[in-house]
Amino acid sequence: MSASWIAIGQILMLVAALAAVHVPLGNYMARVFTSPNHLRIERVGYRALRVDPDADQRWSTYLLSVLGFSLSSVLLLFGLARLQNHLPLSLGFSAMDPAGAWNTAVSFTTNTNWQWYSGEAAAGHLLQMGGLAVQNFVSAAVGIAVVVALIRGFARSRADGRVGNFWTDLTRAVVRILLPMAFVSAIVLIALGVIQNLSAHTEITTLAGGTQSVLGGPVASQEAIKQLGTNGGGFFNANSAHPFENPTPLSNVFAIFLMLVIPFSLPRTFGVMVGDRRQGWAIFAAMGSLWAGAMALLTWAELSGPGLVPQAVGAAMEGKETRFGEAASALFAASTTSTSTGAVNSMHDSLTAAGGGLAIFNMQLGEITPGGTGSGLYGMLILAIVAVFVGGLMVGRTPEYLGKKIGRHEITLVALYVLTTPAIVLIGTAIAIAVPDGRAGILNAGNHGLSEVLYAFTSAGNNNGSAFAGLTVATPFYNTLLGLAMLAGRFVPIALVLALAGKLATQKSTPPSGGTLPTHQPLFVGLLVAVVLVVVGLTYIPVLSLGPIAEALS
């Protein structure tokens, strides 16, 4: 069977599975965040935290709760990494150095899961389970909580800036959504061949007659939430290319399904919570169109490797696992960079120049196609506001979205959101290129070297976590600077989203009139897709022209 038919079969299987769960999962998540009832186990947690789960918080209080919880998470994870050699189940690994521990703590707290280290040589089982896996759950839950707050901003009328209770949203996201889904997914992964144990290093005899040290561990349980929460941090350095994490083509498709299932179901949750399911379908259509385009182009780039990069030895199979091949690797790469997952089943540094450029561009879109758990939807809703603003300018009337007028204060917050990540990415890249410590980590000269640095800061600023492996980042310079990029890329947008949610919640909902732009029709979907591409293209095309575009044309 040809690679093209294999690719089509995998895509059809994936799309069918996503379509089957879209409505029930989206409806379920809407019920989770609108139910007045609390589970008994949730009440135990509220008492331990001494919070009132029924207290409705203003957006500023909600933001302070997000920041306080995240700061505590950074400090706890930093402590675990620095004290690892004194803790049980450390497997004899030493403590991480201060810059490395800082980078790891920030990375997993911000849902980036950028890894400067090799997992099987630096992180013991306790750090993996008690630190990294826990953050995989709660960082994903933070993203869901923030988008739910924004949805309430659209749905409420004159609510005095109150957008819900962060602690309630966080707890429900973990207990009612992520934990049960991860539990079932881990069992499926074990059945598909992913390992799950507490073994340390085991010496085995190889086919060549030598010996090799093989590390076991609780991989399936971490792999499940790694993909489901769009986290991406690998238990092993090879990430999802490692046979213990991703042993077969079937487990590969299941991993892609997990990283897409919640982001693609959240638009349904949005439609249900605002009382107009058509709005959810419109957002879903825009996300799906962009993802399909990225997937098709990246697959074409890898299947056409020799024609695009004549000098590449082995064509587009370089850096890919033979058990997956070009098509499955391209599908995985398109999906992991279209979400904020960052897991890899091939080396993105070995993608064709066009394929690597598309992977970078996917992240530079803001990871909204469909993006991370929560972060993808609130990013797309921000751009939907930009689209209605543009539409309003065309007809000469005040733009509205879901009955809320988009005035000066709202569009200022939106503009700051749109500009934040490009500023982080471009300034970070410029600093790394300009200083000796930054240039020292670049493996390849010329256009590809620029692409390596650009990819790193695009990944960190957009909280993705994947990397072009050619860049050496295990240095104090990169650990510190990329950590700052991850922090700013996560929490500045969250602050702006929550401020916008509070502003919208104070408004009175106005019924649509004859001049209101319908935001549930194909025309608006097309306008939204165009706005996404134009906003990103105008921002990043110059630097992309110096990196992957120039390399592809050379």
Helix, coil or strand: residue 250 = helix
Residue 311 has pLDDT above 70, yes or no: no
d(CA 13, CA 223): 21
Q: What is the pLDDT of residues 394-452, one digit of tens each?
A: 877 778 999 999 999 999 999 999 999 999 999 999 999 999 999 999 988 888 999 99
Sign of the torsion formed by the C-alpha atoms of 509, 510, 516 and 521: positive
Report the pLDDT value the prediction gives residue 314, as an integer from 0 to 100: 41
Q: What percent of the chain has pLDDT over 90?
A: 76
Q: What is the pLDDT of residues 232-266, one digit of tens each?
A: 988 999 999 999 999 999 999 999 999 999 999 99
Q: Is the per-residue pLDDT at 506 higher than 90?
A: yes
What's the whole-number average pLDDT of the chain? 92
Instruction: Quote the distance between the C-alpha of residue 138 and its chain's center.
Output: 14
SS3 sequence, 269-335?
A: HHHHHCCCHHHHHHHHHHHHHHHHHHHHHHHHHHHCHHHHCCCCCCHHHCCECCCCHHHHHHHHHHH
Query: What SS3 string covers 171-221?
Result: HHHHHHHHHHHHHHHHHHHHHCCCCCCCCCEEEEECCCCCEEEEECCCHHH
The better pLDDT of the pair 369, 309 is held by 369
On the question of a cis peptide bond just before residue 370, with omega within 30 degrees of 0, the verdict is yes
Q: Quote the pLDDT of residue 215.
A: 83
- At position 60, the amino acid (one-letter code) is S
Q: What is the pLDDT of residues 375-410, one digit of tens each?
A: 999 999 999 999 999 988 887 777 899 999 999 999
With CA atoms as reference, report the closest residue to 152 among 7, 323, 269, 302. 269
DSSP 346: B
Is the pLDDT score of 308 beyond 70? no
Percentage of residues in the chain with pLDDT exceeding 70? 97
Tens of pLDDT along 319-368? 888 888 888 999 999 999 999 999 999 998 888 888 999 999 999 998 89
Instruction: Give the span between the Cα atoms of 543 and 453, in whole angstroms.
Output: 11
Beta carbons of 118 and 211 less than 8 angstroms apart: no
Lowest mean pLDDT among 31-35, 126-130, 201-205: 201-205
Mean pLDDT, to the nearest integer, of 146-158?
Answer: 95
Specify the pLDDT at position 2.
61
Q: Is the pLDDT of residue 5 over 80?
A: no
Q: What is the pLDDT of residue 487?
A: 97
pLDDT greater than 90 at residue 1: no
pLDDT digits (tens, 9 = 90+) for 160-207: 889 999 999 999 999 999 999 999 999 999 999 999 998 887 788 888
Q: For position 309, what pLDDT does the model report?
A: 43
**Predicted local confidence at residue 305, as pLDDT:** 59
Q: How far apart are CA 222 and CA 200, in angstroms?
A: 16
The whole-model pTM stands at 0.95
Residue 4's pLDDT is: 67
Backbone angles phi and psi of 34, in degrees to 5: -115, -5
Tokens of 205: 């005899």
- Residue 15 banded pLDDT, cuts 50, 70, 90: very high
